[in-house]
Chains A and B, each alone.
Chain A
């Protein structure tokens, strides 16, 4: 994991594609039986820094982007990516305390009606994580590489454990190749970039 993010100018405007994995078996009658294989989604981010794109004007951020591609060694290493339309989670329900457990995994929770779906967060942003027990801010430490929030002391039995946090997504390049167009002296324009989320 390279603990670096891309520039906001590059990240904004990326096309995000969350996906799940479902085995679908269709019967002769046209009905289907569906088995969900995953608990959590995986995101794909796609962007295209075309010449003339206002996002592409910043030479420094393009240099940084190309440096990151080389440091990552193509698909090999992961790095942080921020999905700017969904990176701040507030009052996310984590669990119900039992008086013993001190460690809680951070989750981004999506709720629609009576149904909820949790998304495991492993890369919270340093300095943004605050843990609450029954809505009262509590003393916590967070592991920034696993997203495990540790309360001291353990939240009391029956208490509601929630957290506020910002988070990044661990991603890697989807290709070992980077397509670049030479714009001018000492400036290349990367195009057709696809990043995929890695499970942690």
Chain B
């Protein structure tokens, strides 16, 4: 049962409403944004505010879709459609700054000088993407936390994450700076001549300074030992700047062993006793196998 303040209760019992919807977004770095569909900016204090009171902006054109609310354990969800602008930039959305941000959606009685609130939904942004010049933020309610797979999956590759308690290894971390930038996926680092080729393949890079600081880590695809050249798996939201500091950690391919010495595996980490894959269980690859002359169907 949702509790409404007495004044809103009375309003809802009648026929004439003065309700406006407000949306508050709190990023993981505690940056806060407020939006409203009222015709003017409005300040509202919530107990979860980092900076009180937060101003809910009116002119940004935020459109929450209809909210599906349910009483059970089903996760309620909605989509926020926000034109890209001063608050929400393309780089921030593509840089995943909004992923896992907390969202509060509530209605206010805008006829009051200090408006009373009617809570609608609290949730987390599960996906942020760009569609036709607008940011689309998918919000799922707290019940979504129950929506997890329990048990373990049988896969040929190791199901432990590199460095977690099941793996037991401590990933080696190196710090460096950007020396030059070729594209948003390829750059030269100061880590040339220090490590072997592909030493950081499957590893992660995380920026500590500059515009990309505090964004989620990106996977390393190629590392050239002699020059320090680096290639990452997917493009960064903005180009890194020369001189940006970063942390780079080694990774693991989740394979037990590999004939390619540049691929980090359980064997190369001397950790095969903790390998959690099922590499001998036949999978779909058996059905997809193509006979080659002379190999006897092996």
Contacts and interface: CB of A to CB of B under 8 A. Distances in A.
B20 interface: yes
Interface stretch (A31-39, A131-139, A172-180, A181-189): A31-39
Contact of B39 (A33, A34, A35, A40): A40
B41 to A, nearest CB: 10
B19 interface: yes
A199 B61 CA distance: 13
B51 interface: no
A21 B18 CA distance: 11
A120 interface: yes
Nearest to B110: A39
A165 B17 CA distance: 32
A106 to B, nearest CB: 14
A199 to B, nearest CB: 6
A120 B40 contact: yes
B289 interface: no
Nearest to B18: A36
A32 B16 CA distance: 9
B15 interface: yes
Contacts of A33: 15-17
B19 A35 contact: yes
A39 B20 CA distance: 10
Contacts of A37: 20, 37-39
Contacts of A35: 16-19
Contacts of A38: 38-39
Top 9 A-B residue pairs of the complex, sorted by shortest distance between their CB atoms? A35-B17, A38-B39, A36-B18, A34-B16, A33-B15, A35-B19, A39-B39, A39-B110, A40-B39
A199 B39 contact: yes
Nearest to B12: A33
B59 interface: yes
Given A21-B39, A35-B16, 18 more contacts: A32-B15, A33-B15, A35-B19, A36-B17, A36-B18, A36-B110, A37-B37, A37-B38, A37-B39, A39-B38, A39-B39, A39-B40, A40-B39, A40-B40, A120-B40, A199-B40, A199-B58, A199-B59
Contacts of B16: 33-36
Interface in A31-58: 31-40
Contacts of B111: 36, 39
A33 B13 CA distance: 10
Interface string B191-213: 00000000000000000000000
A21 B39 CA distance: 10
